[in-house]
Amino acid sequence: MKPKIVLKRIIHRGQTRLAVAFAYDRMIIDLLRESINVTWSNTYNLWYADDSEDNLRKVILHFKDIADVDISEISLPSAKETIKVLPENKVENNENPTPVPAEKAHITRSSNKYGPVEFTIDEADDKLIIKFTGRYNPEWIGELKSFGKVWFDNKRMEYVLNWSRLAVDSLSDYFSSEGVEVIVKKNKVAPVVQDSRVEQGNDIRQRELDDETMAGIENVRRHLINKRYSIKTAESYISQITLFFKYFLPKQPADLTEEDISDFFNDYVLFNKYSASYQNQIISGIKIYFQLNGMPRIDSSALGRPRKKKSLPKVLSKDEVKSLLNSARNTKHKLLLWIIYSCGLRRSEVTNIKMTDLDRKRGVLNIMEAKGKVDRFVPVSGKVWEKIDEYVESYHPSYWLFEGQTGGKYSVESVYRVFKQALKNAGIKKDVGVHCLRHSYATHLHENGLDIRYIQELLGHKSSRTTEIYTHVSRRNLIAVRSPIEDLDLS
């Protein structure tokens, strides 16, 4: 088993230092002294060196094959935080420090002044409820608002916003990076509603469909499998449309009307407080069934879906993007942000880039099996190629372009933290997430005059309607609009 080395940053004698913690090992001490100029700290019970990218790179490269190098704590402590070291052992001299287990030699806040944050997912209303159980930082409210409208419940002292997996994941990342514990739970359905669901659902599921209806449902199953839907998604569709048709027995699918379907949503879905996403999936299943089995009686386009919140994407100005991209602390983080913006990538797409996806001869980056299983390639500018060369020479990635320090691809959580730190370094106060770089890329392309159809291809959108939202935030046509105040004789 490889020895473990923990790297972190500490404040020592008024300066930021690169700390190296590990269980006592004579060989590691000798190798460490050979690689960088280190000093033993009696206060912290660990070795430290000047905090520089060069020192960090040397330690990682020197020990990556012989030790498990952990850099999960390699972040700069806030100046407002008090630093304390857990191990109590002292050392007699620099040559023979008392052995300290690596997992104990870490830095922690002397007291966490912020209490845990509770996330409650309310499936019935598609809401995310957030409650600060202790003291909180007012800046956090701005982070919540970056995911849409936020309501505050004065009685329950809770913040409420529209639920989405992106909001839960991104906000969890954000609070965790702030050193705050996040507790995620689902809001329990009221017992009376749960009992109604079980009782009514069991009664419906015991009914038997005829062979013709079952054959139609099997057509839907084959269609979904051929369309490469996941097994879990396909089974969910089948389960829901089976229940839908059993609900109307003895009435047959061919005899159903739009009014029948409306009654089903009111008397079963809404009455039992199922979520809007549940209703949407049933509607999709019904449409597929009627289309595949030739039942023109139902106008599938008339099946209304729950209203969705429509909001414009948040973008940064070109000057803000410039400040952000220049504010990253090291070559790796800088290239990460450069590629996201210059190629219009999603967070998951940048972490999935393999070295073989870089096509230098054609000057493009191949994006393989992105969202919706759409492959595409995007041009890479000469400026970015130069930064890639600089990065590869320093970090020597083997398989993934961006790799974690212990191997494997970089995590999307790490991308989020890099972006948030760069945002802070650049002094940008806007409430935005990593995805705003992709939005900014598309908007800036449109402002530069690129046709929306080309932007659609670059972003990998299946429909141009998805891309057209960027015409609403582009300044290309707005700056030519003459204000009506110009026509008024004002003094």
Please report, for the domain that includes residue 419, its CATH number. Answer: 1.10.443.10
Question: Are 324 and 446 found together in one domain?
Answer: yes
pLDDT tens per residue, the chain (491 residues)? 778 888 887 777 667 788 888 888 888 888 888 888 888 887 777 888 888 877 888 888 788 778 888 776 664 433 333 333 333 333 333 444 444 443 333 333 333 467 788 888 776 567 888 888 877 888 788 878 877 788 888 878 889 888 776 677 667 767 766 777 778 776 555 555 566 667 667 778 788 888 888 998 999 889 988 887 777 778 888 888 898 888 888 888 888 887 788 878 877 777 777 777 777 888 888 888 888 887 655 665 556 555 555 556 778 888 899 999 999 878 899 999 999 999 988 888 898 899 999 998 888 898 876 665 667 888 888 889 999 999 999 888 888 999 876 667 888 778 888 898 899 899 988 878 888 898 888 888 888 877 778 888 888 876 666 676 666 555 555 544 454 545 656 55
Looking at the 3D structure of the chain, how many domains does it have? 4
Query: Please, are residues 3 and 25 in contact by the beta-carbon 8 Å criterion?
Result: yes
Q: Which residues contact 198 (CB under 8 A, 6 or more apart)?
A: none
Q: Does a structural domain hold residue 311?
A: no
pLDDT at 88: 32
Same domain? For 96 and 134 the reply is no
**DSSP string computed for 105-161:** S-EEESS--BPPEEEEEETTTTEEEEEESSB--THHHHHHHTTS--EEETTTTEEEE
Residue type, position 410, single letter: Y
User: Contact, 132 vs 109, CB < 8 A?
Assistant: no
Quick check: is 438 catalytic?
Answer: yes
Q: Is 470 known to be catalytic? A: yes
**Token couple for 462:** 């299946």
Whether 333 sits among the annotated catalytic residues: the reply is: no
Interatomic CA distance for residues 389 and 12, integer angstroms? 35
Q: Choose the final residue of a domain: 109, 143, 174.
A: 109
Query: DSSP character for 305?
Result: P
Residue 94 inside a domain? The answer is: yes
Task: Mark which of 57, 82, 109 sits at the end of a domain.
Answer: 109
The values of phi and psi at residue 430, to 5°, are -65, 145
Question: Which of 409, 438, 439, 444 is labelled catalytic?
Answer: 438
- What pLDDT does 450 receive? 79
Regarding whether 382 and 265 lie in a shared domain, the answer is no
Are 93 and 62 in the same domain? Answer: yes
Q: CA gyration radius for the chain?
A: 28
Angle at 56 between CA 55 and CA 59, to 5 degrees: 85
| Residue 461: active-site member | yes
The residue range of the domain holding 151 is 117-186
CATH number for position 144: 3.40.1170.30
Domain membership of residue 18 (yes or no) is yes
Catalytic residue, candidates 371, 383, 396, 462? 371
Considering the domain architecture, whether residues 60 and 151 belong to the same structural domain is answered as no
End position of a domain, from candidates 186, 214, 246 = 186
Catalytic residue among 268, 278, 441, 470: 470
Q: Of these residues, 223, 417, 435, 476, which one is catalytic?
A: 435
Catalytic-role residue among 334, 346, 444, 446? 346
| The two structure tokens encoding residue 468 | 């057209």
Same domain, 53 and 169: no
Classify residue 317 by burial, with Cβ atoms within 10 Å: 0-12, 13-18, 19+: middle
